[in-house]
């Protein structure tokens, strides 16, 4: 075993969350500058984790990191022995449980670290299925979108169980990402949509199909570079997500603040019921204005991302 450092980056879902669980497409963007780093090194005894969420022996790991524990056991069984001593240090700029792909980035970086430490190659496809081991423990039945985008260099068109497709993004604009400061509730939100689909099959199916249609329209608009139209589509998606009960008062409040501050569109991103929202605008000056308004009105943190992500 040798000492290695690996990384993976954050993501946001531009449009299509929740509907993607039911086979509709989603568009997700890699955020290459917001990263998680993992350092794995040999140790003479113990299996030690240092991270924001937990510091100590792997076997004492807390519930929030149960997925990581399962993943590490799988990796050690594959690559070495379950008792292999090591020290694993995780540092991250990606906020935890905010819909920015923190858990998937951690799973990817850990998987890459173990393979690199034991000097074994791993294909992209195997990397994603391995990272899914911890995502399944954390999220229940993830679509795989998080890990795929955390591992991607370009924006993705994602349909569950289909090959990933890069998507053209021909936009001169900016996304503002704002954190409500409240943990997202992806698992609960996904299960609420599942319940809704059982209780009100027709309206829920129609809402999910409409999200799929909006995602297809967004893809066309992205190619054409029509920022205003993309904003309108985002606003429509937010209304449907709200109808699916996955927004929250704080998300609704930030969406309204962004719209009043002149954003072309805004919506929650990811699982919802907390976590982050997105707003769209044309210039960096406007993006700074909107970000400022969002922070003044409850956002804990904001990020500004230029949309020419294909470069």
Q: What are the tokens at 138?
A: 């954390």
> Among residues 254, 297, 288, 298, which one has the least CA distance to residue 272?
254
Is 139 or 197 the residue whose CB approaches ligand PMV more closely? 139
Least Å distance, CB 210 to ligand PMV, is 15
Strands 4-15 and 156-158: unpaired
Among residues 6, 9, 15, 18, which is the contact residue for ligand PMV, using CB under 6 A?
Answer: 18
Number of residues this chain uses to bind ligand PMV (CB under 6 A): 17
Is 116 or 211 the residue whose CB approaches ligand PMV more closely? 211
Write down the residue that tokens 């890069």 correspond to: 166
Is 173 or 271 the residue whose CB approaches ligand PMV more closely? 271
Is 17 or 69 the residue whose CB approaches ligand PMV more closely? 17
Between the alpha carbon of residue 194 and those of residues 40, 61, 86, 200, 269, the distances in Å are 39, 30, 40, 10, 18
Q: Does 25 bind ligand PMV (CB under 6 A)?
A: no
Is 115 or 142 the residue whose CB approaches ligand PMV more closely? 142
Q: What are the tokens at 90?
A: 């995780």
* Most distant pair of Cα atoms in the chain: their distance: 59
Stretch that binds ligand PMV, among 119-127, 136-144, 235-243, 290-298 (CB under 6 A): 136-144
Stretch that binds ligand PMV, among 1-9, 119-127, 140-148, 303-311 (CB under 6 A): 140-148
Among residues 30, 142, 155, 231, which is the contact residue for ligand PMV, using CB under 6 A?
Answer: 142
Residues 209-268 touching ligand PMV, rule: CB under 6 A, are none
Q: Which uninterrupted H or E stretch holds 136?
A: helix 124-139
Q: Does 99 bind ligand PMV (CB under 6 A)?
A: yes
Count of positions (residues) in the chain: 311
Stretch that binds ligand PMV, among 10-18, 125-133, 206-214, 289-297 (CB under 6 A): 10-18
Residues 6 or more apart in contact with residue 90 via CB below 8 angstroms: 36, 37, 38, 49, 50, 51, 52, 106, 109, 110
Least Å distance, CB 264 to ligand PMV, is 22
Whether 11 and 29 have beta carbons less than 8 Å apart is answered as yes
Ranges of beta strands (E only) in the chain are: 4-15, 26-42, 47-50, 55-57, 86-92, 156-158, 165-166, 174-179, 265-269, 276-281, 301-306
Least Å distance, CB 237 to ligand PMV, is 12
Rounded Cα–Cα distance for residues 35 and 105 (Å): 8
Least Å distance, CB 74 to ligand PMV, is 20
Residues 268-287 touching ligand PMV, rule: CB under 6 A, are 270-271
Q: Does 17 bind ligand PMV (CB under 6 A)?
A: yes
> Among residues 67, 298, 24, 27, which one has the least CA distance to residue 11?
27
Which of helix, strand or coil describes residue 38?
strand
Least Å distance, CB 288 to ligand PMV, is 25
Least Å distance, CB 262 to ligand PMV, is 26
Rounded Cα–Cα distance for residues 297 and 182 (Å): 14
Among residues 14, 20, 61, 90, which is the contact residue for ligand PMV, using CB under 6 A?
Answer: 20
Among residues 8, 10, 15, 21, which is the contact residue for ligand PMV, using CB under 6 A?
Answer: 21
Is 231 or 275 the residue whose CB approaches ligand PMV more closely? 275
For the four alpha carbons of 196, 280, 153 and 301, in that order, the dihedral sign comes to negative
Q: Would you tell me which residues interact with ligand PMV (CB under 6 A)?
A: 13, 17-18, 20-21, 99, 101, 139, 142-143, 145-146, 184, 186, 190, 270-271
């Amino acid at each position: 075993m040798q000492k290695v450092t690996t990384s993976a980056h954050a993501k946001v879902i531009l449009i299509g969350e929740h509907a993607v669980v039911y086979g509709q497409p989603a568009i997700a963007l890699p955020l290459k500058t917001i990263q998680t780093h993992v350092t794995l090194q040999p140790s003479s005894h113990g299996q030690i984790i240092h991270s924001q969420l937990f510091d100590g022996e792997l076997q004492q790991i807390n519930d929030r990191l149960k997925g990581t524990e399962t993943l590490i056991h799988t990796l050690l069984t594959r690559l070495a022995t379950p008792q292999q001593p090591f020290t694993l240090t995780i540092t991250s700029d990606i906020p935890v449980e905010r819909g920015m792909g923190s858990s998937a980035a951690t799973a990817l970086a850990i998987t890459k670290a173990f393979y690199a430490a034991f000097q074994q190659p791993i294909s992209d496809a195997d990397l994603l299925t391995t990272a899914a081991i911890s995502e399944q423990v954390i999220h229940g039945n993830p679509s795989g979108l998080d890990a795929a985008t955390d591992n991607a260099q370009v924006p993705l068109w994602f349909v569950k169980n289909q090959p990933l497709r890069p998507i053209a993004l021909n936009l001169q604009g900016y996304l503002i990402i704002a954190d409500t400061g409240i943990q997202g509730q992806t698992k609960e939100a996904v299960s609420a949509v599942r319940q809704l689909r059982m209780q009100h099959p027709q309206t829920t199916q129609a809402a999910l199909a409409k999200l799929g249609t909006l995602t297809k329209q967004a893809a066309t608009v992205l190619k054409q570079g029509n920022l205003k139209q993309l904003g309108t589509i985002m606003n429509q998606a937010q209304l449907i997500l709200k109808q699916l009960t996955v927004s929250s008062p704080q998300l609704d409040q930030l969406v309204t603040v962004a719209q009043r501050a002149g954003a072309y569109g805004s919506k929650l991103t990811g699982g919802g019921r907390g976590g982050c929202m997105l707003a769209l605008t044309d210039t960096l000056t406007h993006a700074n204005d909107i970000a400022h308004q969002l922070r003044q009105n409850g956002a804990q943190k904001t990020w500004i991302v230029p949309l020419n992500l294909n470069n």
